[in-house]
Structures are given as C-alpha cells and as structure tokens.
Chain A
Amino acid sequence: MSAKSPMLRTLLLGATIIAGTAGSVALAQVPPADQPPGNGNATVSPGTPTPPSDAFSAPSPNAPQSPGVNAANIPDGPPADPSEATPMVDQVTANPAHDDWPGYARDDRATRFSPLDQITPSNIGHLKRAFIYHTGSKPGPGQTNKWAAETTPIKVGDGLYMCSALNDMMRIDPATGKEIWHFHANEKYESIPYTAACKAVVYYTSSTVPEGEHCHHRILEATLDERLIEVDSEDGKVCEGFGWHGMVNLMKGMGESVPGFVAETAPPPIVNGAIITNQEILDGQRRWAPSGVIRGYDAETGRFLWAWDVNRPHEHGEPKEGEHYSRGTPNSWAAMIGDNALGLVYVPTGNSAADYYSAMRSPEENRVSSAVVAIDVKTGEPRWVFQTVHKDVWDYDIGSQPTLMDFTKPDGSTVPALIMPTKRGQTFVLDRRTGDPVLPVEERPAPSPGMVPGDTRSPTQPWSVGMPRLGFAPLKEADMWGMSPIDQLYCRLKYRRAHYVGEFTPPSIDKPWLEYPGYNGGSDWGSVAYDEKTGILIANWNNTPMYDQLVSRKKADKLGLMPVDDPNFKPGGGGAEGAGAMAETPYGIVVSPFWDEYTGMMCNRPPYGMITAIDMHTQKVLWQHPLGSARANGPFGLPTHLPLTIGTPNNGGPVITAGGLIFVAATTDNMIHAFDIHTGKEVWNDVLPGGGQATPMTYEYKGKQYVAIMAGGHHFMMTPVTDDLVVYALDNVN
C-alpha cells in the first residue's frame, strides 16, 4: 500500500485542507526540496562507481583552472614556499573599548558579550528604531533568490563597518546611518555559491604603516569570489601594499573549479599577523570537489604564509606549477577563532566532499573531518584534533564558531578552554592547549556497520555527557504532528516508511532514512554567547529532522543531478543543501526536511527552535524555552498572525549585554527578541522588515547605546530578503 496514486494524493490534500481549516494553528514552515524517491530505489547494484554517461561528464578534477575562476584576474606569480608573518601589534579585538564591537563576535574570545548597560529590562520599552541603512544588495530582476546576508556590523571608534551580501564594504555613521564610504567589490551573480552571505569584515591595525598614514587602520574581508581585500578604514580605498592592488587571489592553487563552487562567507581571523582563510565548498557535488585547504596569509602584505592541506599533510607550501591542493578534503566554512597566546587558530571542520558517502575518504580525511583542528599559525602544522563525529555521513559539519573561556575546575585550577557547539546539539568543552576534553566525553555505541555496501559506519560516536544536550530524545511515531489527524497520520506513515534507529541512523538506499538532529542543528553558524563574569552561556538551536535517501547513479542521472562544474549543469538541477549528484561516487543524495510536503509543515511536533541558558560553573540549564512565534508561518506557507510562541527554526546567534539582556533575532517570525537573562522572559520584540537571520550587535556612541540587526532574510528559511540594517536606541536618551 502506498499513497502514490494521484487520486489518493488529491484526496489526501483535500481532506487535509478540510480538516485543517478547523485547526489551522501555526507552523514553522520549511522550504521545498525534492522528496526522497522511497521504496524500490536500489535498481542498480551498488559497490563500484559506474562511469558517468556522456551527458553527465564533469571536467577532470585535474583539469586546469579556467581563466574566469580567478574573479579579478589577479596575477599569481610562482608557487610560494612557506614563510612567517610580519609581527603584529595588539589588535582592537584583544581588549575592546567599552563602547565598541570591534569584531564579528566582538572580541578575541568570540563571547558575543558587551559591557554596555544603558538598555535594561526595565527601560527596554523605550527601545525604538533609530535608523535603517540599506546595503544595496538584494536579488535583481530575474535572479533566483540566493540571498541571506547574515551580516554582523562591527563598530570601532567613530565608524560602523560592514559588508553587503555581495561583499561591498562600507563605513556608516554610528548615530545616523549615513554612509561615509562605500567600497564596490563588483562581484558577479555567478559567484554566489549556495548563499550570498558576508558575515562580517575584520578591523586590522598595521604594524608597518605608521599612524596617520593611509592603511594604518584597515578593513579586511574575504569574498564569495575568493578574494582577500583590504581597504583603508578612513576612506575605503584599497591598500596598495596588500597583495595585488589590495587583493589576494584565493583560487590560486585550487585547480579546476567554476564560479560559485568555492566561496568565503566568514570573517577570516588574524592571529599573530597571519590572516587565516577557510572556504565553503558547495556540498554534494562531486567526490573530487576543490580542496578544503586552510591557508595563512600575511596581514600586512597579503603574502602566502602556509597551507594545511589534509592529503598533503607535511607540505605547507603552495602546490607546484600544474598541481593543486588535494581535492575533496574536508572543507571548513564556519567562523574560526584565533588564540594569539598559544599561537593557534581553531578550525571547525566539515566533511569530505560527497557528504553522505564515506568509502572513498583517506585515513587523513577521516581523522580531521567534523572536528576542531588547532593549527599552529607559524607553520600550518596541526597541533591537535578533536573529532565531534566519526566518519560523518550526515552533513554534521560544524557551523558554529568556537567560543573561548577560562574553565575553573572543581579543584580551583583554571584551564584555557574552548566551547565547541555542534549541529548534533552536543557541546564540547576542550582544553585549548591539548584538545583534551575538560568536561567528560564518552564514546557511545552507534549503529554499525550501516546499510551501504563497503561503507561501514563507526561503531562509536562521541557524546559530551558533561554538558546539557541542546536537543530532545529520539523521535517516536507519537511525536508526529500536523493540523489534523490526516496530516498527522501522513507523517506517521513517513516515519514508519523510513529507516530510523535514533541518532546516527546510517544512510540507506532502499528507503529514506530519518536524520535527527538534522543538518541545520542543534547549533549552526549563529554560535553561542558567553558572559565570563556570570558564567552564563546562551545558545539558540534548532529541532528540525531531515528525510534523506541515497539514490543509485542511474536514479541520480534520471533526477538530473549533476555537479555545478558539469558543462550541462543548470541552476536548480541540484543544490548544495538539497539533492546532490555526489558525482564520482556510486550514489547521489536526496535530502529534504522531514515534513508534510503538501502543507509545508514539519512532521515532528513543535518546538522547532529553542533558546537555552546554561550555567557554565555547574553545567546546569538555568532556563530553556521555545524561541520564535507562529505569526509569520503556517500551513501552505500562509502566515497565521498568531502571537503564539511555538519555537521556529532559527539561524543567527545571540548577544548578551551587561544590562542583563539577550538580543536574538534568527527566528522565522522575522522578529528581533530581547530576553531577561536571569529569567528567560521575553521583555521586548520588534517586527523586522525582513528575516533577521543574522547575529545582532550592540555599541555605544556619544553616550547612547544602539542595537543593530541585519534584516537580510534567508532564502532557505523562506524569510523576506531585504538590504536593511535596522538599528535601535532608547527614545528617552539624548
């Protein structure tokens, strides 16, 4: 029996509508995606990769790079040997000025904590819009919406600095929103990978250019089209002393690629004079996708310093002429964080290319994927690795930025520690010097060997048992949801039709499998905020399972799945987060939310998003509740306008202020929320002009505290896209 016949589908839909009109209470709606094909998919015997047919022949991974891939035609020069960075002076993020928010996560420890206390739970009723600034970047006519700016401005002294979704940089007056300068990156639409995003720019103070001269203070960004750009903070003109006319070509040595395959969306940290770059490689395309190499560049000159290339572990120079960085290696796209004292950069890694099939990965890749890797910023040599998922085939790449803290042990001693949130909702606390767990981590049995021939799963997986879990118990059939008994029953059927044995259910070919937690987290790129004085950690997270299925190569061809660098590739034929060709492996992958595709509502019961406060002294939950209301979501994509806090999917981090407040937007209700940190009570909110899928920030200027949020929206979260930076201040303060 199955619900495949069109008549039954119509009947179902009709019945759901009828039943639903009675009880249409809200729901977080999730975006469309291809549905797993279901039973009977294993038509081709798996095992050996079948050579692709002519229609699906992507270029050889060893093909030379086409000229247009180097977006600004930056001359590269010969391959460089490893070298050391120009010594660095103290940066503004080391000890941020009281009024400033000088870095993406404010400081060198990524705390997202501000000492500002003008705005408090008692006066927050006076928090009103001060100004809106328009970045000028949003989808043009005829362009598919791939926008999600995800931007957090930074504020240093008299300037508010930010980037647009397409990497323009600008300086804004912090009091009025007036644009002081605007640097045009001239980025092409084709260069957008999965998402047009620019999380933040980086403020850099030069050690060689004297104060008062051009480019003493610089604004740095890494772009979607793989450039590092440095401009002067006063006039927005490029720093000629950096790279080639202010730019470095990050596609050098990457080999074959096409625009949009490789991109930078996170602010590159500067550690002891070295800019560290990672890059997002489009998921699910081909086994031999461009490299996930991590590289260091001199912050003064843009000179290449070193590379950490997983499958060339001891070669730290650039690849020889005609060679390229090792392909298909785990890519890192999260914001990294540096540690000047230990000379390390902490790299949250993702997965090897072809996320859902691991049989072709090297032992070196298997050691460092979905892990925190601490790399020596002098040499590019990894000093330690802590893995959060072994042989990841669930796209549990780490999206969060690590947060640094001093952890006080029961015996009173202090450990320099690192908090690593993960998509699994397991939050690991590690010793920054060694990578050893500070709080207990257990290796627990996991489903093994799995269901894919020749691709065995790890018999155990790590669990951070000393930290509260940002997640719920495994799904039961009774957890299925809907508006009516009919759509609830449909979800119960979907649940029963899939493989599911709890977390780490191995991928399957014969029918879909349930992935829970889903690849949106737990914790994603929003990361966490931490107040060092009180020891309170704030995390907002997701509860959104996925419904996935491996498909045979024949089926993948039939579905039209092909990698982005295939000459026949058409946009929409396969996405980064939906169905993927996984070319050069035996299987393709179909990924969809675990939802009722007729109503567009998630199949699991709410909440779909939560916010949690954890006392890091005791590792106990202080409070936890659903985050986000049902106002802008509902069945069939219709807003319900209900002010019910149901808990929606959320992307974007929290901010803590000394005024005792938490600011977080992130939710699909298009609101920014403020919570009293001690009670968890929502004390204020405002409806934004677009989706608030970004981390807010706060600063003080001329005696007035401001709160800024990029309401850029998010195409995947289906929230309205705008180019509006919305800035708030108290209306009773002059």
Chain B
Amino acid sequence: MSAFIKPQTPAAWAILGLAVVIVLLGLPLAYMGAELMFLGGSWYYVIIGIAVTAAGVLMAMGRTMGAMLYLAAVGVTWLWAFWEVGFDGWGLLPRVFGPSILAIAVLLCLPALRRMENAHSTSVREVA
C-alpha cells in the first residue's frame, strides 16, 4: 500500500494540500539553508528546512506526528527569531508571520488528522 493518504473527504484533501505546501516550503529552506551553512551563515535554515520537509511528508502520510513536528519547528522558530532580532516587528515579520499562519492551519487540521490516524490504525489492526 501507498504510504500517502488517499483523500476522499474535504478534510483529507485539506491535510494533503497543507502537507504539500509545507514540503514545498521545507525543501528550499533545506537546500538553500545547506548552502548558507557552507558559506558560513546561519545553521537555522538547513535544520528547520529538514524538519519542515519531514513534517510535511509525515502529514501527507496521515501521521499526527508530522503536524506536531511542524508546530515544534514553528515554536523553535519563534525562540530563534527573538534571539536573532529581539522584539523588532519588521525583523520578526519574515521569520515568524508566514510560518505561524501555516501553524494555525496545521492546528485546525490536527483533529481531522487524529481521526484519520486512529481510523487508519484501526483498519490496520483489523486487517492484522
């Protein structure tokens, strides 16, 4: 069987769409973040890029852990942003605004994701 969810409900479609968006954000973060690290710049981006990509992939597989990982990454991002620019509004904007909006979307998807995962594990158990 495929590791990814096959959406049949609007909620599942939303989760898959969100997961794709998160992967699309994570990949360039990881890729460019690696170059930045090699050029002597911040390590934050490559680490967070890998985490976010993994989070997206896990979400696409219907795993709650993906959502939790994304939320954790955003939490780390807030801490890192405060560390890097303090409480400066313009400075915080690119660092936390977009990711936090997405985090809200992820939070909204969380119940559906939980249900899906429970149903999935139930069905797996039944098959077993």
Contact = CB atoms under 8 A, between A and B. Distances in A.
B101 to A, nearest CB: 4
Nearest to B20: A18
Interface in B18-73: 21, 24-25, 27-29, 31-36, 38-42, 45, 48
B95 interface: yes
Given A477-B42, A489-B32, A489-B33, A18 B25 contact: yes
Interface residues of A, number: 34
Contact of B101 (A22, A477, A496): A22
A180 interface: no
A15 B28 contact: yes
Interface in A467-506: 477-478, 481-490, 492-493, 495-497
Interface in A2-42: 2-3, 8, 11-12, 14-15, 18-20, 22-23, 25
Given A1-B35, A496-B39, A485 B29 contact: yes
A486 B29 contact: yes
A29 to B, nearest CB: 16
19 contacts: A2-B35, A15-B25, A18-B25, A19-B25, A19-B98, A22-B101, A481-B90, A484-B94, A484-B97, A484-B98, A486-B25, A489-B29, A490-B32, A492-B36, A493-B32, A493-B39, A495-B41, A496-B40, A497-B39
Contacts of B24: 11, 14-15, 18
Q: Number of contact residues on B: which range applies?
A: 20 to 34
A485 B45 contact: yes
A539 B40 CA distance: 37
A474 to B, nearest CB: 16
A539 to B, nearest CB: 22
Contact of B93 (A1, A18, A23, A493): A23
Contacts of A487: 94
Interface of A: 1-3, 8, 11-12, 14-15, 18-20, 22-23, 25, 477-478, 481-490, 492-493, 495-497, 605-606, 646
A485 B99 contact: yes
A18 B90 contact: no
Contacts of B94: 23, 481-485, 487-488
B85 A478 contact: yes
Contacts of B27: 11, 15
A478 B84 contact: yes
Nearest to B22: A18
Nearest to A482: B94
Interface string B87-107: 000110111011101100000
Nearest to B97: A23
A23 B45 contact: no
Contacts of A485: 25, 29, 45, 48, 77, 94-95, 98-99
A486 B95 contact: no
Nearest to B104: A22
A21 to B, nearest CB: 9
A485 B42 CA distance: 13
A11 B85 CA distance: 28
B41 A20 contact: no
A492 B99 CA distance: 18
Given A492-B36, A492-B42, A493-B39, A11 B28 contact: yes
A495 B32 CA distance: 13
Given A2-B35, A481-B91, 14 more contacts: A14-B24, A15-B24, A15-B25, A23-B98, A25-B97, A483-B98, A485-B29, A485-B94, A485-B99, A486-B28, A489-B45, A493-B35, A493-B36, A496-B41
CB-CB nearest 10 A-B residue pairs: A23-B97, A496-B39, A1-B35, A22-B101, A488-B94, A484-B98, A22-B98, A19-B98, A482-B94, A23-B98
